[in-house]
Amino acid sequence: MCLAPENQPPSLQSLLRAEYANALVAIEAPSGATAGRKRPKLWDLDDKHHCPLIGTCLSIDELQRFAKRFHFPARPSDDFALHVEAVAQCRSRNPASEAMQRHLDRKYTLWMERFGKLKDDKELLALWHECQQRGDVAGPLWALCTHRNASQTTLQQAYADVHMLSHQVGAGLAADTRRLAHLEKENAELKGGLKREVAALRRQLAAAEAERAERDILRNEIDTLQKRLQRFESGQVVVEMGQRLMAIQASHEKLLTASGRVWELERNLKDIREDAQRIAAERDTALAERDALEHLLRAMEPATCDAGSDACTACEHALGARCVLYVGGRAALLAQYRQLAGRLGITLIHHDGGQEESLSRLPELIRSADAVMCPTDHVSHNAYYHVKAHCKRVGKPCLFYRGSGISGFAVAMARIGRGEYTLAGEPG
């Protein structure tokens, strides 16, 4: 189609341009909003949707079965590493991602049929919100993300909802766990108190029955005395009986007070013994961990050089010049990390894995370090893949390990000191 020449009248030229634009739209756009669009597969989705889909729609048992079936390099006991490997597999079409696609289709067939009846994006979003309010998340999430009519806006809304729901569920689960522990402790204390109270009530009941029996005897005696009083003018017998009753009641009250004190002392003594046992156990654990760390540090210290003083100075200079980049870990233990590294003569550079520091600094830090170490149990997905990709690109030695505590860090530093690391992308 030819455009109108410049010398035509403005009104005709504008009309031709409008018709030309409408024709282009009619040619490029399909007849319907989703005409010819196929249902997206797992590997067709954006990378950000893989993490919530795998974490929400697959259970830990199912994830471990897929890892065993397709030989994931991560350890079967490391749920986080298995999750990361499964998310990585979903980025492309491969046997593992195809198997997960088929499994999820079979698992959530009913939800897919229910969502498949809807053609409008607004209806999909409304049904998603309805399911979310009822607590149904996994099945509706899979059916929505793989629906052919779901727009990017709807998928982004589902992603945001699941992301915030995971935070809320995690916080609620932690609060429920603490509340459950407190309730269990309180329940145990209440049971113990109830048992003591039942025993006390039984003793009181026995004492009351004994007292009632004694009172019955006293009543019989009183009746006898009353019959005798009819024959005696003096009331001395009745006075003596009243004094006897008052003495018995006072003695009973003293016994109850003494027994309450005894029960309280026994309960305090039991609490003191439990506290002493717990303190002793914590002390033994701390001493054992300290001895283990000291033994490990002595084993990690470099051997004495047999050469002259000049050679020893050169060795110390070479050891002190080593620089290790530590990505992730616990910020509260950073000072102890640096102290352990310093005892080995290693300079430690730290990056928090993107919590507060920008991930854009990682390439520069990786190039300036001799080696990189990263705890997989205390680092984000993005930081993990950034470290893995950059170390592989520049050929930098990298050690991925599990255990962000002091002991795990010390073992990892020992491996770094002995040169037991692998290039990024290889098993650590």
**Using CA atoms, how far apart are residues 103 and 91, in angstroms rounded to an integer?**
17
CB of 165 closer than 8 Å to CB of 129: no
Sequence-ordered strand ranges (E) for 254-365 = 323-327, 347-351
User: What per-residue confidence (pLDDT) applies to 165?
Assistant: 83
Which pair of tokens denotes residue 362? 């990682």
Tell me which residue range forms the domain holding 278. 241-299
The amino acid at residue 401 is: Y
User: What per-residue confidence (pLDDT) applies to 322?
Assistant: 81
In the chain, % helix, strand, coil (3-state, to 5) comes to 70, 5, 25
Shared domain for 255 and 276, answered yes or no, is yes
- Asked if residue 231 belongs to a domain, the reply is no
Four-residue CA torsion sign, 402, 369, 354, 93: negative
Shared domain for 144 and 63, answered yes or no, is yes
* Residue 112, C-beta contacts closer than 8 angstroms, at least 6 positions apart: 105, 142, 143, 146
Count of all residues that appear for the chain in the document: 428
Overall number of domains in the chain: 4
Model-level pTM greater than 0.85? no
**Using CA atoms, how far apart are residues 329 and 75, in angstroms rounded to an integer?**
20
Shared domain for 10 and 56, answered yes or no, is no
User: What per-residue confidence (pLDDT) applies to 237?
Assistant: 65
Shared domain for 360 and 411, answered yes or no, is yes
**Using CA atoms, how far apart are residues 163 and 157, in angstroms rounded to an integer?**
10
Shared domain for 270 and 368, answered yes or no, is no
Shared domain for 318 and 416, answered yes or no, is yes
200-237 burial, b at 16+ Cβ within 10 Å, e below that, comes to eeeeeeeeeeeeeeeeeebeeebeebeeeeeeeeeeeb
Which pair of tokens denotes residue 66? 């897929």
Shared domain for 389 and 415, answered yes or no, is yes
Taking the chain (428 residues) in runs of 10, the rounded mean pLDDT of each run is 38 42 36 58 89 89 90 87 90 91 92 89 89 87 88 87 76 62 81 89 90 88 79 69 84 87 88 85 60 59 46 39 85 87 87 87 90 90 90 90 84 77 51
User: What per-residue confidence (pLDDT) applies to 232?
Assistant: 66
SS3 349: strand
Residue with tokens 């006293």: 218
